[in-house]
Amino acid sequence: MSALKYRETIWSDVFPGNYHTVHALRPAVLATELALDLSPQQRQRTLWRLDGGSGSEKELQWLVARGYQLVGKGMNHHRASSLAKQVKRWDPFGKDWLGEAPAPAGYARPVHVIVKRKREADGCFHHTYYVTTLSFPSKRLFQTFYNARGGAEIEQFRNDKSGLGLEARRKRDFLGQKAYIWLTDLAHNLLADFYHRALVDSRFADYGPKRIVRDLLHFPGRLAFSDGHLQQVDLLSQKQFAEDLRICLERFCNAPR
């Protein structure tokens, strides 16, 4: 799990290959609560956006009962077909249609249920459904909001694979792989700290982990310290962006901790 604004990893773990995503939801939620020290009042202002892999009815109900806001996709195709029969009006959304169905029982708070209808190549309809505790002015805005999820796959997973070698390094031992994932998280968060202390509002503000490691941390140079304080930054002046990086390094080393 990743905090996108700060580029930090909140929680990571490794599960056996036969472990379904839905079984990882509660450990992820509970670990996040612990890491962020979320109070019941803060949970009410915390939104979980889930894809279909985590959206069993039981887990969605548990999440709502725990006090969180929710925008999630259900994983039960039979329930989706059943809910579609209860939709009274279908509105177009691109090549698909959206409708609202009555909320099922079992939720601790009122929820809205949106059903999406899609025509397959064989002419048959395929239905999916979504559950949310939020209120939207229209079904179209809800679907647009749901489709905007997924930043973690780009911000963390893909960048860690390319920038930190996550995909290239594998451990056959299960606990060894866990340790490697946690070390990668540590490296990821150290880079996130460097980014916010040094690179924000600089010409490197759009750099992700891969470019930071490849283009900045491999920069030839030397830092001189005295009594724990930065005294001098020497960088190879022939390298492009040397002066800009010098300013960023001074900002990072002199930033309050």
Per-residue pLDDT reduced to its tens digit, 25-68: 999 999 999 989 999 999 999 999 998 888 789 999 999 999 99
149: which residues sit within 8 A by CB, 6+ positions away? 49, 51, 71
User: 230 phi and psi, to 5 degrees?
Assistant: -70, 130
Q: Determine the Cα–Cα distance for residues 168 and 122; give it in Å rounded to an integer.
A: 40
- Reference 170, options 161, 180, 162; nearest CA is 180
- Reference 7, options 170, 148, 178, 210; nearest CA is 210
Q: Is it the case that residue 2 has pLDDT exceeding 80?
A: no
Q: Determine the Cα–Cα distance for residues 50 and 25; give it in Å rounded to an integer.
A: 9
What is residue 84's predicted lDDT score, i.e. its pLDDT?
95
Per-residue pLDDT reduced to its tens digit, 144-160: 999 886 655 555 556 66
Q: Is it the case that residue 70 has pLDDT exceeding 80?
A: yes
Q: Determine the Cα–Cα distance for residues 156 and 234; give it in Å rounded to an integer.
A: 32
Contact 43, 66 (CB under 8 A): yes
Average pLDDT, the chain: 85
pTM above 0.75, yes or no: no
Helix/strand number for the chain, H first, E second: 10, 10
Q: Determine the Cα–Cα distance for residues 210 and 206; give it in Å rounded to an integer.
A: 11
Strand-pair category, 229-235 with 91-93: unpaired
